[in-house]
Amino acid sequence: MNPPSFPTFSLTGKVVVLTGGAGIYGRGLAAQLAATGATLVLASRNVEALEQVAAEERALGHKVHVRSLDLMSEPSILQLRDSVVAEFGRVDGLINNAVSRPMKTVDGPLSEWEASMQANATGLFAITRTFATTMASQGSGSIVNIGSIQGMVGPDFSLYEGLNMNALPDYFFHKAGMMNLTRYFASRYGQQGVRVNCLSPGGFYTGQHPTFVERYNKATFLRRMADAHDLGGPVIFLLSDAARYVTGVNLPVDGGYTAH
């Protein structure tokens, strides 16, 4: 008698596109996704930085490729999709990780807000629609949007008091919108076998001011900020067949910050 077959967390044989890949979240995600055995395609405007990441991962025996992507250009998005499908025959996963941060202050020129929306709202919609349509034609696929707890709650300005740091409104706006766009596409393409989920990280340690770190740590149950090892596991789960019945979900990965 053959043992029962269970869905696994493996991404071996899957073709996964990660937007970004060299930044705060992206470098850790690239390493952990590449280690799963997936064919990983990194895509952003900074091709040079991605090539460095890809070279480091290939040296470990991983299958990592690089493509150019401008989220503010629909032709660039379509070219990315077409290039991936032409070379690999399909696309099984998309992680919407890349983000643009043109706003510097809440009082800055309106053009900064508009540029942020073009990349982080319009660009998000365009790339998700493009890849979801392709996945639907295949009958399967998984999209993971990298959101933020700042799309779930309002800012706690006391964390920044007396420091040269701040919370900016465009980020709160488009990360909140990302969560409901996730639900929209999950509903729209679920019948075609496409799952769409959102992962909302909490504060990520990048060498911030010690006072901020101390304040933030106290606001979490785990008493620490996230690091490069914390996001890959949940993303891999959502991409894998182990999450085959999970769609339309927002998963906080925040050490308990939003669970108060």
H/E stretch holding 53 reads: helix 47-58
Distance CA 257, CA 151 (A): 13
Pick from 183, 167, 80, 166: which is nearest to 127 by CA? 80
Residue 154 scores a pLDDT above 80: yes
Q: Which residue has the higher pLDDT, 97 or 22?
A: 97
Binned at pLDDT 50, 70 and 90, residue 260 comes out as confident
Burial class (CB in 10 A: 0-12, 13-18, 19+), 192: middle
Domain with residue 22: its CATH number is: 3.40.50.720
pLDDT tens-digit map of 29-86: 999 999 999 999 999 999 999 999 999 999 999 999 999 999 999 999 999 999 999 9
- For residue 10, being part of any structural domain is answered with no
Residues of the chain with pLDDT > 90, as a percent, come to: 93
H/E stretch holding 27 reads: helix 26-34
Average pLDDT, the chain: 95
Beta strands in 73-226 (DSSP E): 93-96, 141-146, 194-201
Question: DSSP characters for 76-106?
Answer: HHHHHHHHHHHHHS---EEEE--------ST
Q: Which two tokens stand for residue 19?
A: 């937007």
pLDDT tens-digit map of 160-171: 999 999 899 999
**Is residue 185 within 8 Å of residue 143, measured between CB atoms?**
yes
**Is residue 220 within 8 Å of residue 202, measured between CB atoms?**
yes
pLDDT tens-digit map of 215-224: 999 999 999 9
Determine the average pLDDT of the residues in 231-246: 97
Distance CA 154, CA 147 (A): 14
Residue 2 scores a pLDDT above 70: no
**Is residue 232 within 8 Å of residue 32, measured between CB atoms?**
yes
Burial class (CB in 10 A: 0-12, 13-18, 19+), 110: exposed
pLDDT of residue 138: 97
For tokens 């949007």, what's the residue?
A: 145
Count CA within 13 A, CB hemisphere, residue 6: 4
Domain coverage including residue 213: 15-253
Burial class (CB in 10 A: 0-12, 13-18, 19+), 228: middle
Pick from 201, 207, 195: which is nearest to 220 by CA? 201
- Number of structural domains found in the chain: 1
β partners of residue 144? 95, 197
Would you state the torsion angle of the CA atoms of residues 171, 175, 176, 180, taken in this order, to the nearest 10 degrees? 150
- For residue 167, being part of any structural domain is answered with yes
- For residue 7, being part of any structural domain is answered with no
